[in-house]
Amino acid sequence: MALNFLVSFFSIALMALLVSTNFRIGKFLNLSLGGLFAAGGYIAYFTPNPVFAALSGLLFGTLLSLAISKICRSVIEATVLSLGAGILIERGLEIVHRSSYYYFVDFDYSTYVILLGAVSYLFVLGIYLSPLGLKMKFVEEDHELAELYGINTGMIFTVTTSLASACAVLAGFLSSGSLAISPTTGFGYLISGIIVSALTAQLRQVGAVHYLALLAISFAAARFMEVLI
């Protein structure tokens, strides 16, 4: 019971972290994270290799960030592009694996989501408490000004999007054992993450304090959000 709650809590907290970092650093709402989560489940079924899952996410995130940098000029354009990328993944999965709508794997690594969530939070908090954290806060608060002061915002954006994408695929891979895998599996997780992230944003905090608040609100909301996932 307690273990199930922890899995739900860390699943939601992880998705909220990914949504939040992408929005605050990358300045867009990454709607492809739901599709990436579902892709992780399919990778678990067809190629049960977590390294492959993480690398696929990393590659996708890099391509997504490059596409956004090249094509988009506003938050809405970048968000719509990421939505298109998410739909592309889902429809692609549906077309390629049409033989069965739902897939089930015969292993259950879902408790490792706790580890993935905890490591991700520690990683982000570690960055914000390090000298690099100041740069990150600067990018969060004023993207243009940070660029003028010589911070490589493009690189930070690419790294953030790529790591977030890798984490989403890996979370989908690890959660696959407790799910009926389908192209829309990730939407519930994505929505939970967006809701928690939006609630935390109302506190108007930056840096490590924001991410600690994100963790606390995920904990408080986990019981209600379980319905969605």
Partner 1 sequence: MKRIVAETAVMLSLAVIMSLSPYYSWLFVLMSIYSLLTLSWLFMRKAGRISMGHSFLFGFPVFLASAGYSFSSEVSIQLFIAGCALSFVIFYIFAEMTGRTAFVFLTLVFSIFVWVSSPKLVFEKGGYLTGGEVGFSFPTISQKELHILTGGTLTLFYLIYRIIGESRAGYFMRAVGDDETASKAVGIDLRKIKALSILLSGMTAWSAGIIYGLEFGHISPEIFSVEISVFPFIASLIGAGNPFASVLSSFGLVYLSKILNSMYPGLMGIVYAAILILSPKIGWWVYVKGKRLDEKAG
Q: Could you say which residues in the range 20-79 bind partner 1, by CB under 8 A? A: 29, 31, 67, 71-73, 75-77, 79
Place of tokens 């907290």: 13
Which of 98, 144, 150, 204 binds partner 1 (CB under 8 A)? It is 98
How distant, in Å, are the alpha carbons of 4, 33, 77, 94, 213 from that of 13?
14, 14, 26, 28, 10
**Closest CB to partner 1 among residues 93, 114:** 93
Would you tell me how many other CB atoms lie within 10 Å of the CB of residue 29? 20
Residue-level length of the chain: 229
| 144 binding partner 1? (CB under 8 A) | no
**Which residue stretches of the chain are H helix?**
2-26, 33-46, 50-71, 75-96, 112-129, 132-141, 143-148, 153-175, 186-201, 207-225
Minimum distance between the CB of residue 203 and partner 1, rounded to whole angstroms?
17
Minimum distance between the CB of residue 106 and partner 1, rounded to whole angstroms?
24
Alpha-carbon span 13 to 180, nearest angstrom: 21
| 180 binding partner 1? (CB under 8 A) | no
Minimum distance between the CB of residue 196 and partner 1, rounded to whole angstroms?
12
Contacting range for partner 1; rule: CB under 8 A; set: 40-48, 82-90, 121-129, 166-174: 82-90
| 92 binding partner 1? (CB under 8 A) | yes
| 228 binding partner 1? (CB under 8 A) | yes
**Closest CB to partner 1 among residues 75, 119:** 75
Q: Helix or strand or coil: residue 103?
A: strand
Which of 18, 105, 168, 190 binds partner 1 (CB under 8 A)? It is 190
**Closest CB to partner 1 among residues 6, 80:** 80
* Beta carbons of 196 and 16 less than 8 angstroms apart: yes
| 204 binding partner 1? (CB under 8 A) | no
Would you tell me how many other CB atoms lie within 10 Å of the CB of residue 224? 11
**Closest CB to partner 1 among residues 51, 95:** 95
Please work out the total of residues on this chain that contact partner 1, with binding judged by CB under 8 A. 32
How distant, in Å, are the alpha carbons of 15, 38, 169 from that of 47?
23, 14, 13
Q: Which residues are CB-contacts of 97 (< 8 A; sequence separation ≥ 6)?
A: 42, 46, 103
Alpha-carbon span 208 to 170, nearest angstrom: 24
Residues that bind partner 1 (CB under 8 A): 29, 31, 67, 71-73, 75-77, 79-81, 83-85, 87-88, 90-92, 94-95, 98, 187-188, 190-191, 194-195, 198, 227-228
